[in-house]
Amino acid sequence: MTDSTRLDGQVAIVTGAAQGIGRGIAVVLAEAGASIVIGDLQPADATLEEIRAAGGSAVSRIMDTSVAADAEAIVELALAEFGRLDILVNNAGLDEPPGNAWDLADADWQRTIDVNLSGVFYCSRSALRPMIEAGHGCIVNISSRASEIGAKGVSPAYSATKAGVRGLTKAFSHQVADKGVRVNAILPSLIISRDFGWTPEVLMERRKDYPLGFGTPRDIGEAVRYLASPAARWVSGTELRVTGGNQR
């Protein structure tokens, strides 16, 4: 039987794939057959090595998604290196510093907006040009369940920008669906993507909220694989909640 989630011959940009969820997404898409282009603030050597060791193809470039020229450059790299661009995953994001509204400095509010919202816009705008020209393509935006429910102690800029990402998803989808380009969002709950510095007691308490266990970067990678693949050819403008059974 044919696997309708294979991505052989396709080219995917994944932002923020030097670590965490982005790395999980890049590895899963490479396993599905896609060539990977990583854009990150930091070197992505570990991800590149993991993909290449498994026989996949990947390149990377240092970039800041909140800089429009960097967004142009990562798309240029994909086209120069692989000759096409099929998939953009807007994963790079910022949830630091934690804190409540009254603690949030102007500069931290603005930086979160620049990265989480403007970054998604710049990368999408750059990627849409070749996708529209080709009459084919797909964007997957990594939002968050925090966009719907907020979270105590998490920057309100984070929840607000992740809600903005859902707005961009809907807006883009309307504008490009008839041009053969699909745009969708994923809303993950807690993913153990790095060391959050929690004590075992805190981890155990948080674990109670997740009937299916804590999420891993790979869980989000598998969801992206579906949305990016021919299996989701009739899916655009939608939001996929990946929550480990957490209904809150």
Ligand X SMILES: NC(=O)c1ccc[n+]([C@@H]2O[C@H](COP(=O)([O-])OP(=O)(O)OC[C@H]3O[C@@H](n4cnc5c(N)ncnc54)[C@H](O)[C@@H]3O)[C@@H](O)[C@H]2O)c1
How near is the Cβ of 194 to ligand X at its closest, in Å? 4
CB 46: neighbour CB atoms within 10 A? 11
Contact with ligand X (CB under 6 A) among 190, 224, 232, 240 = 190
Note whether 221 binds ligand X by CB under 6 A. Answer: no
Q: Which is nearer to ligand X, 119 or 137 (CB)?
A: 119
Shortest reach from residue 246's CB to ligand X, in Å: 11
Among 31, 40, 86, 219, binds ligand X (CB under 6 A): 40
Tell me how far CA of residue 51 lies from CA of 62, 91, 134, 145, 193, in angstroms: 18, 18, 27, 29, 18
Least spacing, CB of residue 192 vs ligand X, in Å: 7
Which 11-30 residues touch ligand X, going by CB under 6 A?
15-16, 18-22
Q: Where are the beta strands (DSSP E) in the chain?
A: 11-15, 35-40, 58-62, 87-90, 137-142, 181-188, 239-242
Q: Are 89 and 140 in contact (CB under 8 A)?
A: yes
Spatial distance between the Cα atoms of 148 and 139, rounded to a whole number of angstroms: 21
Least Å distance between CB 55 and ligand X? 24
Give CA separation, 16 vs 24, 105, 116, 125, 142, in Å: 11, 24, 11, 17, 11
Pick 91 or 184: Cβ nearer ligand X: 91
Q: Which positions are catalytic?
A: 158
Residues in contact with ligand X by CB under 6 A are 15-16, 18-22, 39-42, 63-66, 91-95, 115, 119, 142, 144, 188, 190-191, 193-194
